[in-house]
Chain A
Amino acid sequence: MNHTIVKNNQCIPVSSIPVLDYERFLEHNISFLREEHYHCVNFYGIQHKEKIKLICCIANDNDATINVSSSIVESKQTLPSFSQHHFSFHIFEREIHENFEINYTDHPWLKPLRFSFNRPNNNNTIANYPFLKIDSEELHEVGVGPIHAGIIEPGHFRFICNGEQILHLEIQLGFQHRGIETLFLEKKKLLQRTALAESIAGDTVTGHTTAFVNLWESLCNYKTEPDLQFARTIALELERIAIHTGDLSAMCTDVAYQLGSSVYGRLRTPVINYFQVWCGNRLAKGLIRPGKNNFSFNKILGDSLIKIFDEYEPDFNEISSMTFTLPTVLARFEKTGVLTPEHAASIGAVGMIARTSGINRDIRTSHPHDFYSTLHHQAIIKRHGDVYSRAQIRKEEILQSIKYIRELTKTIPEENKNRKPLNPPMPDSFAISLVEGWRGEICHCAITDEQGELMHYKVKDPSLHNWLGLALAVRNNEISDFPICNKSFDLSYCGHDL
């Protein structure tokens, strides 16, 4: 047995994960990725006594399973890389290299990732990041950030340009690093950990919190009741609607289309305000809790939500039909920032970005959690991978999510008044949880020790894969089109930096 097969939100004993020697581990996991319906959801290292244990989770999109295998290597060892065989591993191996000083003989881009506080090599600092250098009289470099003109998070973009044309973009992140994964171990109370999950990325509160609570409940061997799953599904879809609408507004702002910017901006407000009505926080903080729900969803809430959508949809359709037919807007959106399907596949793009480049990758379809198995979600796929596709997929996903919410609220599950309390987590266990947030696939993994205490916690935001997609998409575009490309990807800085 080279791997063990788990389902989404399934808890298994750590000992059931086979430990392979590194050559077999490499060959085995690479062999999966030769087929299109496999992709790597997580690949990370943990300290295992004096050595390093590498754990690789490859998702099979056809039968809703995840293949988990592991290998134990010496720290500071030099190894052949996975990335040489399939480039989508590059970001994981950069992290392993940074955290455990494992060197790769043939990794194409072995640079620091996020400058974690406990990195072994403190000589690598943000200030001496090894940028790709040019030695040319004709080309020029433009550095943007980490402090930006708008209210966005810190990140440094270094362009190499030929006049107005971008030849190369290197994105340096790590300014937002807060040590989330370590904090998960240091904070012992469940409420503290839930609050931590809520603050992994401010725009994906429900996504990350759902991943955490699903994971925790599976670690505690808790059978999640339908009313909890229902509320989480509604919250995830609402967050998708709110953020997508806000993004459409921001994309209109970036091409200076004032009407679209203000109308989409206005439409977003009632949706996020609904969270305020439901749980007292516009970002849905406090809504999702493991093993309980302090703000259960009822008929009255359902009716007011439907009323919001009855007002939302006509205005949304009207402004969308204007925006998506206005020649000046189309001239900026179409054929700008194209991420080709080949590039998207090779970097292991996930979520919305993968779907705009023609890759059918959606956890709601492939590894359904909560109520998604009853919805029979059909992912919306676009083929061109340009800014226009990314605007269109947002528009269509909003309408699809509204449809789902209308469908779901027809039968609201009864609140369970006398819920069983959560058991303590099972000892020596490994659990994995996949959630399709609005941005894409969120993956949380946890390992417990023999007392049932958290021993390791791993968070992966979809941005981790997709940042490289942005860097590839802007090549050969005009530098003045970079902001609209960046906004259309709308990736998370803090989700990447953790």
Chain B
Amino acid sequence: MISFTLIIITSLFFTGIVLRTKSIASGRKGPGIFQPMKDIFRLWKKGAVYSKTTSFIFQIAPSIYFASVLMAILIIPFGQYNGIISFDGDFVFFAYVLALGKFFSIISAMDTGSSFEGMGASREALYSLLAEPAFFILIGSFALLTGHTSFHDIFISIHFGSYISYALGILATFVLVMIAMIENSRMPVDDPKTHLELTMIHEVMILDNSGFDLGLILHATNLKFAMYGALIANFFLGNIEIYFTVPIFFAIQILFAIAVGILESFSARFRMSHNAQFIFTLASVSLMIFFGVLLVIGKFI
């Protein structure tokens, strides 16, 4: 329950901090950190416009997408506290409940019949597909290291290991940050600010969504960021008392948001064909973690 509440709170200002960082980095003052959330509330007050060529899929997809993200958040633990849902193998459930949401957003993009949205859907499907091995090798390695298969047990027991577990934690942080960037279609894989339909990935898929539905999709992005931030924070929380872990949690989320902002300010987007290569390198970093784990538990050499 506590992780769910904290993630919801973080989601309210996460993209605000990213935007503010980017504004300051480019010499502008920038909007307040709650501005993105205010925009979403404005959208939630509106009705939605549906194209005549779409079917019911297009209408239910944003809600399913949003629900899938909420469902995934329920699994995230917080330090010594369980997530609301917690069982052995819940990380597999986590990955595939997100995939379900993505599946619906892809078929809803196809449903509009627009040639842009078809392209966006194919790109999004490709990049999620390539990011999947990185995530499973990563969490799988930690499952192997700790001997547990639920998020809560893995994160609780990881700190009883040696110092090398912190090194693995830092590598894991890198992989999770990059997965978060890919899953949220941010730089360097996709540019959320662009107005150019032909270079978009996620943005082009939601071109036909409006009003309440658009608000749901935009807030799902905020939630996903906060969710990945919470996963990263969990690597460093462990069994400490709650009045330490809550500030640490927020500190890590804010640092994550600032890191995203800086990354987006000082580099250009990758060429579309280089994205696939880049995402594969994440899988290889995950493999490094896997071999690290094998070293630690003495199965290797």
Contact = CB atoms under 8 A, between A and B. Distances in A.
Do A and B pair up? The answer is yes
A480 B197 CA distance: 8
Interface string B192-223: 01111111000000000000000000000000
Contact of A262 (B27, B191, B271): B27
Given A144-B197, A254-B196, A328 B269 contact: yes
A143, A164, A336 — most chain B CB neighbours (10 Å) = A164
A332 B266 contact: no
A143, A149, A331, A479 — most chain B CB neighbours (10 Å) = A149
A326, A336, A483 — most chain B CB neighbours (10 Å) = A483
Contacts of B195: 149-150
Contacts of B273: 164, 478
A256 B268 contact: yes
A143 B115 CA distance: 8
B119 interface: yes
B187 A142 contact: no
B270 A478 contact: no
Given A144-B198, A258-B25, A262-B26, A479 B268 contact: no
B299 interface: no
Contacts of B198: 142, 144, 479-480, 482-483
B267 interface: yes
B115, B193, B196, B272 — most chain A CB neighbours (10 Å) = B196
A187 interface: no
Interface in B241-276: 264-274
Contacts of A480: 198-199, 271-272
Given A144-B197, A480-B198, A255 B119 contact: no
B238 interface: no
Contacts of A326: 267-268
A142 B196 contact: no
A481 interface: yes
A397 interface: no
B183 to A, nearest CB: 18
B88 to A, nearest CB: 41
Given A256-B193, A479-B198, A332 B269 contact: yes
Interface string A454-493: 0000000000000000000000001111110000000000
A331 B26 CA distance: 22
A141 interface: yes
A331 B277 CA distance: 14
Contact of B268 (A263, A266, A329, A478): A329
Given A142-B116, A262-B26, A481 B265 contact: no
Contact of B25 (A259, A329, A482): A259
B22 interface: yes
Given A144-B197, A254-B196, A328-B188, A478 B271 contact: yes
Given A258-B25, A262-B28, A328 B196 contact: no
B115 A332 contact: no
A45 B116 CA distance: 41
A44 interface: no
B119, B194, B198 — most chain A CB neighbours (10 Å) = B198
Interface residues of B, number: 30
A489 to B, nearest CB: 15
B270 A266 contact: no
Nearest to A479: B198
A356 B271 CA distance: 22
B153 to A, nearest CB: 40
A140 interface: yes
Contacts of A263: 26-27
Nearest to A484: B199
A257 interface: yes
A163 to B, nearest CB: 8
Contacts of B119: 142, 164, 479
B22, B28, B199 — most chain A CB neighbours (10 Å) = B199
A483 B204 CA distance: 14
A63 B118 CA distance: 55
A141 B115 CA distance: 7
Contacts of B28: 262
A261 B193 CA distance: 12
A311 to B, nearest CB: 15
A478 B196 CA distance: 14
B272 A331 contact: no
Given A262-B26, A331-B274, A483 B268 contact: no
Nearest to A265: B26
Nearest to A255: B268
20 contacts: A141-B115, A142-B116, A143-B115, A144-B197, A144-B198, A254-B199, A255-B269, A256-B193, A256-B194, A258-B264, A262-B27, A262-B28, A263-B27, A328-B269, A331-B274, A332-B268, A478-B273, A479-B119, A480-B198, A480-B199
Given A256-B268, A480-B198, A483-B199, 17 more contacts: A142-B119, A142-B198, A164-B273, A254-B194, A255-B269, A256-B264, A258-B265, A259-B25, A259-B266, A262-B26, A328-B268, A332-B269, A336-B271, A478-B272, A479-B119, A480-B199, A483-B196
Interface of B: 22, 25-28, 115-116, 118-119, 187-188, 191, 193-199, 264-274
Interface of A: 140-144, 149-150, 164, 252-259, 261-263, 266, 326, 328-329, 331-332, 336, 478-483
The 9 closest A-B pairs by CB, nearest first: A256-B191, A262-B26, A256-B269, A257-B268, A483-B196, A328-B268, A255-B268, A480-B272, A149-B195
